[in-house]
Amino acid sequence: MIDLEKRAHEKYGLPLAALDDSDAYTMLMEIVREKAQSLPDTEGKRRLYYISAEFLIGKLLTNNLINLGIYNEVKEQLYHAGHDLNKVEECEVEPSLGNGGLGRLAACFLDSIATLGLPGDGVGLNYHFGLFHQKFRDNQQTELPDEWLHEQGWLVDTGKSYTVPFGGFSVTSKLYDIDVLGYGRKTKNHLHLFDLTSVDESLVSADSIDFDKTALKKNLTLFLYPDDSDDQGRILRVYQEYFMVSNAAQLIIEEALERGSDLHDLDEYAVVQINDTHPTMVIPELIRLLVDEHGIDFDEAVSIVRKMVAYTNHTILAEALEKWPLSFLRTVSPRIADIIEKLDYAEKEKDADPAVAIIQNDIVHMAHIDIHYGFSINGVAALHTKILEESELKPFYKLYPEKFSNKTNGITFRRWIMGCNPALTSLLDETLGTEWHTTGDLSGLMEYKDDPEMLEKIGDAKEIAKRSMRAFIKQNRGIDIPRNAIVDVQIKRIHEYKRQQMLALYLIWKYLDIKNGNIPARPITVIFGGKAAPAYVIAQDIIHLILTLSQWIAADPDVSPYLQVIMVENYNVTAAEKLIPAADISEQISLASKEASGTSNMKLMLNGAVTLCTMDGANVEIADLVGPENIYTFGASSEEVVRLYAENAYRPHGLYLRPGTKLLVDFITNPKFMATGNPERLKRLHDDMANKDWFMALLDLEEYIQVKERMYVDYEDRSSWLKKSLVNTAMAGKFSSDRTIKQYNDEIWHLD
């Protein structure tokens, strides 16, 4: 079917064997692009628009080859010509259009929407320099522009363009698409990425992410989440958001008209999923366009829009729930500010409870617009939805109980096992057939949980994944990992609520324990990966602590043979795909109630890592599925944590003063250790942990250390550990994003 040899001759005038990896990559990408372009769009009267500030899509070549059903064929033809597809794919630059779990969720959803054959597209922005490229210098994070856009990429110029009117000026957009293929499907969807015709990359230099925040006609699509520590940066974010949703709304209306809508029935042609609050202004923007451009009466426009927008909440962290001064919105778009005031007024007429007001003291609560004017609001794990209903959004739940539902997050199995873990995938295919690729059902594996031969095969697959992970770490950090090490990973954005600092305190404990002569049964390798927001000082301090500890331990010959701490540089989807298949232990140690769902917990479980966790987010559902003997849980319950906050009753200093804890926290500021790092950062982090500890690491620390130690001991019983690993893979089916998307469609979108 595919003849790479012929293609190599046509394109380069060379035999396939003579191409270098980079030319082979370009050729393959073009083949996939052509195949995708030739597929018709998925059709249906009602179309979904999944609007999101982020799409963390990862490299696309392997995923697209898998979804086209030609992965093995291509791999073999390359192999016979002396090429390795993995090496070829290394030539691809990972798109930098996302940040963390929220963006990765959007990417998994696009894969599942296409795989289920549903007509649904993503809508976002084409950030030229992404979030940032993380580099470590002097054991600290530095941020560089992530130059991911190259001539030869996946973007398709659609020729579409819209005018976006801001207060006092307007800009012109330009729409690029990335084709989205479903597994085994003969139609395609799109990721629509809007850009600015007047964007100016020369505002950015190669060595810094600073730029002129006031040059709005040139800067709107330079970076995802530009620094918001000053008002200029904050207003810029509002400009970006309005640019995104005005384009989205214009596209939605144009496509509905093309499909025969008269706009009075727009809700029959389009449904919008608002991913977190960044796209909230699509609500007033749709109303604006219906009223100002299409002559529909205001009240009717409101009732149309009410029937077509749904909102997903992703966090209960107050600082992450967007609130903008009304004056900012008025600067960006006076008309949108007027419409929001009208919407606010109408709601205040209906309900006197100030807690549910959209505008409070001239501050606009974006989530409140979504809840009042959307027809659906969902949380992303059972526990998270319960917390929304019973505490965070309780007054709204009382008003609109019928709007609330849970949609536990999921991950696409095409990328998170078939794409990244070939050894385990082959084993599962041999054992279960290939139906699980689309059903997600791996439960048939449970039959083999006491089969020693199967357990050994599971162990062998892990070894193969570890080998390729070790090569990745060598390349990324220049560090060698012992072959027999237990691999323990915490890979996710750096945030106090995720509590990387608690794992760092454990590592200090373990370092001292080994110094005292307690040698572990085998080497322990702890791997961190994650970026910190540039303006988030404590998160930067945590990175510094981890990197300094890493260096300190590596330099101590008493300890370094037994304990290794590695922080991967520039953690992204590509790194995740190397680390996740190789992990033995999955660290999911957020403060209970704070991690809405988590998805790396699901990816790691699927790949046979055993979870060490608090009862937070989707960890609760994992624990339910695998049973207590196949997971390690610890820590205060979410109820306890919610109570401590409500009563302002958490007192870390008393916990700090416990001798065992004080020893660990004070290690950070012991003069020798400080001398190897940045004293200002270490002192600040120490004082924060000893006195503030807002995310209660000290509350759970003792139990965490105990449970973690038990886990390392249990690992030494090989067959019982492999059984846990098998059960985790076998029970991961619930977390296929195909299941999640079926639920969104059955209960919210109703696409036919």
Ligand X SMILES: *Cc1c(COP(=O)(O)O)cnc(C)c1O
Positions touching ligand X (CB under 6 A) are 56, 100-101, 104, 492-493, 572-573, 576, 598-600, 603
Q: Confirm if 39 and 187 have CB atoms less than 8 A apart.
A: yes
- Told to judge if 493 belongs to the known catalytic residues of this protein, a careful annotator would answer yes
Task: For the chain, give the longest Cα–Cα distance.
Answer: 80
Q: Computed from CA positions of residues 566, 608, 616, 131, in that sequence, does the dihedral angle turn out positive or negative?
A: positive
To the nearest 10°, report the CA torsion of 496, 497, 498, 500. Answer: 30
- What's the min distance (Å) between Cβ of 572 and ligand X? 5
Beta carbon nearer to ligand X, 232 or 475: 475
Q: Among the options 408, 525, 574, 599, which is catalytic?
A: 599
Beta carbon nearer to ligand X, 423 or 576: 576
Write the CA distances from 56 to 59, 152, 164, 321, 576, integer angstroms.
9, 19, 25, 21, 12
Q: How far apart are CA 524 and CA 713, in angstroms?
A: 12
Q: Among the options 33, 188, 493, 686, which is catalytic?
A: 493
Beta carbon nearer to ligand X, 572 or 737: 572
- Told to judge if 633 belongs to the known catalytic residues of this protein, a careful annotator would answer no
Q: What's the 3-state SS for 578-592?
A: HHHHHCCEEEECCCC
| 36 φ/ψ sector (left φ>0, alpha ψ -120 to 50, else beta) | alpha
Q: How far apart are CA 651 and CA 666, in angstroms?
A: 18
- What's the min distance (Å) between Cβ of 416 and ligand X? 8
Beta carbon nearer to ligand X, 83 or 104: 104
Beta carbon nearer to ligand X, 492 or 708: 492
- What's the min distance (Å) between Cβ of 287 and ligand X? 34
- What's the min distance (Å) between Cβ of 384 and ligand X? 12
In 3D space, the residue among 735, 188, 120 whose CA is nearest the CA of residue 439 turns out to be 735
- Told to judge if 188 belongs to the known catalytic residues of this protein, a careful annotator would answer no
Q: Among the options 288, 492, 594, 681, which is catalytic?
A: 492
Q: How far apart are CA 398 and CA 460, in angstroms?
A: 53
Q: Confirm if 152 and 28 have CB atoms less than 8 A apart.
A: no
Q: How far apart are CA 35 and CA 37, in angstroms?
A: 6
Beta carbon nearer to ligand X, 315 or 745: 315
Q: What are phi and psi of 135, to 5 degrees?
A: -130, 145
- What's the min distance (Å) between Cβ of 102 and ligand X? 8
- Told to judge if 314 belongs to the known catalytic residues of this protein, a careful annotator would answer yes
Q: Among the options 603, 708, 724, 734, which is catalytic?
A: 603
Q: What are phi and psi of 383, to 5 degrees?
A: -65, -45
- The distance of Cα 730 from the centroid of its chain, to the nearest Å, equals 24
- What's the min distance (Å) between Cβ of 104 and ligand X? 4
Q: What are phi and psi of 398, to 5 degrees?
A: -65, -40
- Told to judge if 492 belongs to the known catalytic residues of this protein, a careful annotator would answer yes
Beta carbon nearer to ligand X, 411 or 427: 411
- What's the min distance (Å) between Cβ of 414 and ligand X? 14
Helix (H, G, I), strand (E, B) or coil at 633: strand
- What's the min distance (Å) between Cβ of 735 and ligand X? 11
**Which residues 6+ apart lie within 8 Å of 676 measured at CB?**
548, 551, 552
- Told to judge if 498 belongs to the known catalytic residues of this protein, a careful annotator would answer yes
Write the CA distances from 204 to 132, 200, 211, integer angstroms.
12, 8, 6
Q: Confirm if 324 and 363 have CB atoms less than 8 A apart.
A: yes
**Which residues 6+ apart lie within 8 Å of 706 measured at CB?**
634
Q: Among the options 33, 437, 498, 578, which is catalytic?
A: 498
Beta carbon nearer to ligand X, 33 or 603: 603
- What's the min distance (Å) between Cβ of 27 and ligand X? 28
Q: Which residues face 131 on adjacent strands?
A: none
Beta carbon nearer to ligand X, 42 or 574: 574
Helix (H, G, I), strand (E, B) or coil at 41: strand
* Positions marked catalytic: 314, 492-493, 498, 599, 603
